[in-house]
Amino acid sequence: MRVLLFWPNYDSHINYPPLGLGYLASFLRMNNHKVAIFDGTLKNASVGDFVNEVKDFNWR
């Protein structure tokens, strides 16, 4: 299975990595799933950027 995990961009004074998504991605990868993480805060992404990422994600 291919999984795209998303961490939304939101207004916050504290910027920290999405550790929960990292743990989840690690577990899924150990169980032979293909995983990608989209960190919206790192990329300062908009909803449109996320939609484009979903469209470009290799679902097969």
Match 């993480």 to its residue by tokens: 37
- What pLDDT does 32 receive? 96
Helix spans in the chain (H):
19-30, 40-43, 47-56
Buried b (16+ CB within 10 A) or exposed e, 18-38: beebeeebeebeeeeeebebb
Residue 8, CA distances (Å) to 12, 22, 36, 42, 56 in order:
11, 14, 14, 10, 18
pLDDT in tens, the chain (60 residues): 889 898 888 776 677 778 999 999 999 999 999 998 888 887 777 888 888 888 887 776
- What pLDDT does 28 receive? 98
